[in-house]
Chain A
Amino acid sequence: MVGASEIASAVGPGFLPWTWVIAVLPLASAALILFFGKRTPGKGPVYGIAAVGTGWVLSLVVLWHFVQGGGPLERSVAWFQVGPLHMELGELVDGLTAVMLVVVTSISLAVQVYSLGYMKGDARYTWFYVALSLFTAAMLNVVTANNLFQLLVGWEVMGLCSYLLIGHWWEEKVNSNAAIKAFITTRIGDVPFLFGIFALTFATGFTTSNIRVIAERISSGEVSTMLVAAAALLLFGGTMGKSAQFPLHVWLPDAMQGPTPVSALIHAATMVTAGVYLVGRLFDVFVHANAHVLQYVGVIGGITMLGAALLAFVQDDIKRVLAYSTISQLAYMVAGMSMGPAGRTAGFFHLFTHAFFKALLFLGAGSVIHSAHSNNMSEMGGLRKNMPVTFWTFAIGAAALAGVFPLAGFWSKDELLTVAQENGHPVLFVVLLGTALLTAFYMTRAVWMTFFGEYRGQGHPHESPVSMTGPLVALAAASAGVGFLGAPQLGAVFGKWVFYQEAEKAVFVPWVALASTAAALFGILAGYSLYKRYREPDPLRAYAGAVYGVLENKYYMDDFYMRWIIRPIQYPVAVAVNWSNQRILDGAVNGVAVVTRASAWVVNLFDQRVVDGAVNEAAEITGETGGVLRALQTGNVQWYAALLFIGVVVAAVLITRA
């Protein structure tokens, strides 16, 4: 176990044993930027981009192994041992890992290049790249880890980087509050996650947290169903926090206070999908638990996707529209997971396509914000003429998200809908279809309010530099193209890389595809008819009435949390912390200060009297002796000669006497 254990593979392992290098590269670049960034020409991004660029190429090499039909590989080295528990550092590389590697490195590369333009002149430009690189390393560690404790380390480092980057402009209180909210809310999910890891480790008799060993143990039926169900529910707590599922979704819209490239990388494409990845990676736990566990996952997904999509209707901040959209699309993936092995593949396919078009939409929104100097769509409008590249790429992203044929989102949504229909989930099917319609509607609203009509802001909008439009174009190409990897007509190759136990047979149901296209078109038409001319106030307000107010207040969830959870906890905690701070901590500090002062007085006395006294005394004695002796030195050579003779005589007398 301690050494390398390899699963037999059809194709030779090739680069696969070195997959860990992909995760270590950005870690090294984070350290390089931290220590040498400011002294490097260009202030440091060159290390980050070089590391993640190399990682991207290597990820494609890893993926190529699976494209050729290669098998998975796991290997590890011993880390340390506590009692019976063997901790290891290792990598588990299968098709899912390869796909996640490609997603993370692609988006990270695009975002880092984009940030060259977007963050130019920022006071903490170098630090920003340190955090981006560290984040990338942590996420890559999560997707390559072969055991849960190693995964947890990456998971928590991601949380830290998310906190640091949301609060990147911490001078404004709103931003640091948003960072704290994100950190604490995800932490509420992380506690059950940690206990879920304990439960799974317990299932192996506290010998290992190796994912494959746990999966085998659970599949063999040796572990009680109760324990597996409890572990699954606890793990899903982590997913609810990290992937912003109801009721822990409240942090993600606030996280938009961070710089837009951060929103694209962390809060749209990668970190928030880690929760979905977790469910898929530990799918055995969910499958072998009580059947109600997966139902519960599906219900949470359904509630989240509809609730968040509706909230996107009433947002004026373009990034918040996208944030609620992200929550809603993450719920799509979660709902996919709840539909069994085929749904797992479909969910991961949606994760894969969503990463590209949502990162594209965020970077496009960033380009717009960069140019219009405002987040609010009410202060935009007409930007189509000033920013053609941003407009076209954003439009491709929006159409992909809405599920327009033949863009990426169409294929992944269609696959999810087909799975729901084929595997007998009628309620989820309706919810998924309804959410697709709502998605098309709010994206049409966002596109029309931003890019059509007359410009309503104060600035002079202009197209962004090439460092920003380049990644936009690349991501737009990906958003248009990657969907074909899952197209049933083309063999659905994606399902041959990412599968649970055995590859699923891809099916295409024409009426489902028609229904999803109809939903998308209906949503777009409805959005167009309402927003083709900009009106103040929002025309929806008149139609929705009281519901509009509920949506504007985010279902009063933030108020509920504030009133019933945060305040009741905050006040007693604050008092207790204040007391302990004043009495215990300050007391200790003051005590130390008093002792230090007293000993300083003693040391001073010793220094002044004893040490300095000795030095001064030695100097004085030397001076006085010199004063006496200098009388002898007259300068008269005959006087010296006389002394010499006297000395010789005295010496002669003494010697002859002795």
Chain B
Amino acid sequence: MPLLLVFTTVVILPFLIGIGYSFVKWDGIPANPKVFVGFDNYVALFKDDRFLTSAWHTIAFTVLALVLVNVLGLLFSLLVTSKLRVGNAARTMFFLPNLIGGLILGYIWQFVFTDAFKFLGEKTGLDSIFFNWLIDPKFALFAMVVVFTWQMAGYTMIIYIAGIQGIPDELNEAARVDGANLWHRLTRIVFPLLMPSFTICLFLTLSGAFKIFDVNLSLTKGGPNNATEMFAMNIFNEIFGYGHYGLGQAKAIVFFIIVAAVTLTQVIITKKREVQY
């Protein structure tokens, strides 16, 4: 299979090389020496408080984001596929945030949190809610969740839509004729048939949230006082900020094992619930 060949050279091979690097002490400059140090890097990372703290941030962030993104994404998809007149326009509007990728997204949101929130706080008097979230260690994390949700909800919406449109209308109609109310139709018919979409969306949000980097860098840079430094950013800093290539790779491997364990369990569980027909 050609895809496997491409995939191997582009992803698997570099990953294996990366595993190799996790056992050396090296600054990342090809011309400079690599010293084999065995498991030293792995020992060191478990003593790295900052790395462990970033792990907690990432977990808190991921849980919050996972729930919000999927609830919103599902809600949006149900709304825009119900026969409301503005459905089609809304579908595009919900999806637009996704088009603003990467760094600029964070910059725009800085305007929202610094300028727009201040404005709202002054106008509404609710300045305990509307203040600059980015300088409060707790709220900065929520700010990240908000931005990530804003970006991802439209993304998952698309996948839920694909799933919903795969459900035969007759099923819904038949249920309606039988007198099932909306809630019953959703829980008995729609949700079970959406299982493949759930698998996919949960997984995509999980992996996206765990790997989050761009938004982190451009919105908070990990601040204030490292309160929002996530896994990927910690690893990136180790590799390119401090030039500790081996240690950074070791962190990446540990990170990968943890995330893989969590998400693969999730995929296997939800895959089992998928309806075959």
B is a partner of A: no
